[in-house]
Amino acid sequence: MFSETVKSKLKRFDVYRKLPHDLTEPTLSGAFVSIIACAFMTLLFLTELAEYLKVNTNTEMFVDINRGGEKLVININLTFPKYPCGLLSLDAQDIMGSHVVDVGGAMKKIRLSPEGKNIQEEDMFKGDHNEGNVQEVKKQIESREGCQLLGHILVNKVPGNFHVSSHAFHNQLHMIIGNDNSKLDFSHIVHHLSFGDNKDIEFIKNHFAEGVLSPLDDLKRIRPDSVRDPLSYEYYIKVVPTTYQTLAGAEYFVHQFTANTNEFSAQGMPAVFFRYDLSPVTVKFTQNQESFFHFVVQVCAIVGGVFTVAGLIDNLLHTSISRILRKRDAGKLG
């Protein structure tokens, strides 16, 4: 295929020149060094492979000025084991002055027996609060029914609060409970509370380890039996807009939050307040993975580096052993 002249010229570029087998000599020290070097290269290769397969997450923070005009989705799953559904209303108020009774969204009221079993479900935002319901509410109180709120609400993306109370019945409250304020027991369990699309939040919890998306889940606030006065509960929530970006480039916009709680004796009508404030800073978590070419470079560096160092060690051992044997043969070791 190539002429002898061309072959001869090509051979000049060979930097991996070969020695004849009869000019090489295997040694016992070289065998030990080779075994140790191969084991070390294998260990380093597996470590680098694990790092290549690992999905890392980068974090950055910036001021978000593009998502201010949207509605904020708040997912709610609360149980009031000692407060009937007929007496509950869910209201929202924000810093802009908007105060809405039975704020918009999709919310179910689930009537619960004293044992916690479902009795009936109804759409909370289609209920009609009037004096015709007073007798029904009295029956629910006498039966010691509880209530679960399950769904989501939409609020303006500005600081505000939403609260569970008996606001819709404030004119008939005395007719319903008389002078026994101890019946206004807002003991509750926060099964779930989050900000953002629930499906996105579940996906993020399964694929990301970063972020605090629902720190209040499974929190209980139960009024002690020794307390007869009605208690109000407040939650102070700091909401941080957060973006999650997967390896495939898909983005999910949700909100992390931290919360502090407080309870106090209610002077008037008790309630459970969730007061939230939004941070102007957005946190972004981005998944990334080491590139294949970087992995190849690292593997080459491992093989070349270990091979070179092992060769130097082998030469040093071989030279030292040869000198010791020569001195022994010459009787100079004493």
Q: What is the pLDDT of residues 262-282, one digit of tens each?
A: 998 877 788 999 999 999 899
Is the pTM for the entire model greater than 0.85?
no
Instruction: Find out whether 285 and 213 touch, Cβ atoms under 8 Å.
Output: no
Give me the pLDDT at residue 128, please: 54
Mean pLDDT of 70-79: 91
Query: What percent of the chain shows pLDDT beyond 70?
Result: 84
Of 102-111, 148-157, 221-230, least confident by mean pLDDT is 102-111
How far out from the chain centre does Cα 145 lie? 35
Q: How many angstroms separate the CA atoms of 197 and 158, rounded? A: 17
pLDDT of 131 higher than 50: no
Task: Name which of 319, 231, 243, 311 is nearest 272 in CA terms.
Answer: 231
pLDDT class for 1, splitting at 50, 70, 90?
A: low
Residue 19 binned pLDDT confidence (cut-offs 50, 70, 90): low
Higher pLDDT, residue 101 or 107? 107
Report whether 162 contacts 155 (CB < 8 A): yes
What is the model's pLDDT at position 102? 46
70 has pLDDT over 80: no
User: In this structure, how many other beta carbons lie within 10 angstroms of the beta carbon of residue 248?
Assistant: 6
Q: What is the pLDDT of residue 100?
A: 55
- Minimum mean pLDDT range among 70-74, 237-241, 319-323: 319-323
pLDDT for 24 equals 65
Residue 132 has pLDDT above 50, yes or no: no
- Report d(CA 203, CA 200) in Å as an integer: 5
Residue 96: pLDDT band by 50, 70, 90 thresholds?
low
Which of 16-20, 69-73, 146-150, 263-267 bottoms out in mean pLDDT, i.e. has the lowest? 16-20
With cut-offs at 50, 70 and 90, classify the pLDDT of residue 323. confident
Q: Which of 25-29, 64-68, 73-77, 173-177 has the highest mean pLDDT?
A: 73-77
The first and second tokens of residue 329, run together, are 């043969």
Cα–Cα distance for residue pair 137/241, rounded to 1 Å: 40
Residue 63 pLDDT: 87
pLDDT beyond 80 at 236: yes
Q: Which residue has the higher pLDDT, 44 or 328?
A: 44
Query: Are 85 and 147 in contact, with CB atoms under 8 Å apart?
Result: yes
Question: What is the H or E stretch that residue 151 is in?
Answer: strand 146-156
Question: What's the whole-number mean pLDDT along residues 123-136?
Answer: 65
- Three-state secondary structure call for residue 160: strand
Give the mean pLDDT of 163-187.
75
- Predicted pLDDT of residue 69: 57
User: What is the reported pLDDT for 191?
Assistant: 96
Higher local confidence (pLDDT), 21 or 265 = 265
According to the model, what pLDDT value does residue 194 have?
Answer: 95
pLDDT score, position 285: 93
